[in-house]
Each structure stands twice: as structure tokens, then as C-alpha cells.
Amino acid sequence: MNFIVFPGQGSQKIGMGKKLSENFPEAKNVFEEVNDALNLNLTKIMWEGSDSEISLTSNAQPALMACGVAAFRVLSKLKDKNLKQLADFTCGHSLGEYTAMTVAKVFSLKESAILLRLRGEAMQQAVPVGRGAMAALIGITINQTVEIIKKTKIHGICDIGNDNSDGQVVISGDAKVVENAIEIAKQNGAKRAILLPVSAPFHCRLMEPARVIMEEALNNLKFEVPLIPVVSNITALAHTDPVVLKKNLIDQVTGTVRWRETMEFAKSQGVKKITELGSGKVLIGIAKRMLKDVANESFEDPEDFDVFQ
């Protein structure tokens, strides 16, 4: 039982995907198609731009998706196997769910790039700069986090943005409320409680304007049945119904990324190997901590694929 997973925002970096593009035509074709779809030289930003440019949500989201799809196509070529032969389930963290649906052929690469560019812009514009914040709470359980949030809700919005793993939760909402939650978390034994360097408070109710925009865009797009089941961020369960897959992406904008439960679902299915494709190794790191006896691998640069050549 194999899972293929794709990273979310935060894994972006200058140079990601460049070596793949230079060494594999399958990867080069992906990046060229994304550039054409967006009518933007995104790869110039990815490979020659600044950290601030690639970290812009509207750039990071399609760029990370392109890297994930490129890595998948190279892996598929070198192993001479299609998605069904490589994995039993696929999923991704936040925007990574779009990457998963792209390789599962729910929608096309072009459609995915356009959707993620729009998603990035909508999420960035949903909340005025400075109003929102996100914070990582380390060493605090999800139940403790729920209790902390209860103590802050009279002051404004604070939601669980990412339930990443045991003892690693990200909260999101009004800046002052999040800062208050940080202090409460520290008083309740958190090992660390720190603000994250993000441009907007993702995956919380403040993202409602972005959810409305994405609902309209997604409802105008035809979803196909995926080649393999896609595990949703919002339900932490596997789905194949196009109607449900679409609803999950809409709800995901304001909902919690339930990655801890996604890994628990993988365990319940008897997962033997988890493969992370694209930039970074964040998800493999979580898998190593949560699924001790499960094999894992990540593919990002040509040297990662040497075993298949």
C-alpha cells in the first residue's frame, strides 16, 4: 500500500525544479506549459527571482504544483509505471491537494496552474495586510489547542489552520487573537509558540472572501474521476466522486488541513511506503515521526532519481 504526497506552501525556494528541467524533457515540458497557461515567466521567478518573489502566495502555489507534477512525470518515466502502478492513494498538504488531483487527472495541468494562481491572489487579498497572523504551537496536542482557542474566541477569530502531526498545530486568525493564543499556549506547557512568516492567515474563517471566489471558479470546471483515490485535507478520508472532490477543495480554503489524521488514515490502510514529490521533505519528516515502520522516499532533484537510471 503506497501513498504519493505533495508539499504545501512553505516548501518553496529559489532554484526549485531547475535541475529537473535541465535534465529531463518531461519536467521541462511541465514548466513550459505552466508558463504558457499563466502567460507569465514563472520559472524565471522560481530560478532567478528573490525569496520574497517566490514566497508571494500567487507565485508559490502554482510553482510548487509545477515542481510536484514535474517530479511525478520524471518518476513515472524512469520507473515506466503510471500512477495506478506507483501508488494506491495520493494527497497533498493544502495547495498540494491540487497537485495530487492534477497527477490523478481530475483536471489538467493548465487548469491547475490557473486555479492556483487565482487561489493565491484570492487568499492574499482576502485579509488586509497586518490584520491576520498564523502561529505554530509545538508540544501542544490538538485537544489542548481547542481549549486555548476557546479562551480567545470572544476577542475575534482564531481557528486551527493546520493539524500537522502529534504536538505540531498551526493556528490562524486575527493577529491580536493569535498573539493572545501564543501566550496562553506558553502558559500551558508549549515547547514553542511562534508567529509564522506568512503573508495572510490561511485556512481560517477570515479566508471566506477567497472561498467564495474559488467556489465560483471550481464550479465552472469539470472534474473527472481520479485515477486513484485522493485523500482530502478537509475530511482526512479518500474520495473518488468528482462532486465530493470539488466540495473538498472549496471547503479547504477556510477549513483545517487535517494532515495528522491523513497520516493516521494512511496507517489504517496498511501503508508500506510514502513518497513525497516536489520541493522539500517536510511531509516525509512528519511521516517519519508518526509512522515509524513505514518506508519513505522523496524526489526533488536529478540525483534523487539516480537509483532508477
pLDDT, tens digit, 9 for 90 and up, residues 220-235: 999 999 999 999 999 9
The residue among 70, 109, 113 whose CA lies nearest residue 302 is: 70
DSSP 74-109: HHHHHHT--HHHH-SEEEESTTHHHHHHHHTTSS-H
- 155 catalytically annotated: no
Same domain, residue pair 163 and 263: no
| pLDDT tens by residue, 7-56 | 999 899 999 999 999 999 999 999 999 999 999 999 999 999 999 899 99
My answer on whether 250 and 161 are in the same domain is no
Please indicate, yes or no, whether residues 159 and 190 belong to a single structural domain of this protein. yes
Instruction: Give the Cα separation of 95 and 45 in Å (integer).
Output: 19
pLDDT grade for 197, boundaries at 50, 70 and 90: confident
pLDDT tens digits, 116-139: 999 999 999 999 988 999 999 999
Could you tell me how many helices (H) and strands (E) the chain has, helices first? Answer: 14, 10
Catalytic annotation, pick one of 112, 172, 199, 203: 203
Predicted TM-score (pTM) of this structure: 0.96
Full residue range of the structural domain in which residue 292 is found: 2-126+206-308
- The span from the CA of 159 to the CA of 195, in Å, is 14
For residues 13 and 104, membership in a common domain is answered with yes
**Rama region for 153: left / alpha / beta (φ>0; ψ in -120 to 50; rest):** alpha
pLDDT digits (tens, 9 = 90+) for 94-122: 999 999 999 999 999 999 999 999 999 99
Look at the chain and report how many structural domains it folds into. Answer: 2
State which amino acid sits at residue 289: R
**Pair 236, 91 in one domain:** yes
Q: Are residues 91 and 9 in the same domain?
A: yes
Mark whether 93 is an active-site residue: no
Out of 11, 21, 58, 94, pick the active-site residue.
Answer: 94
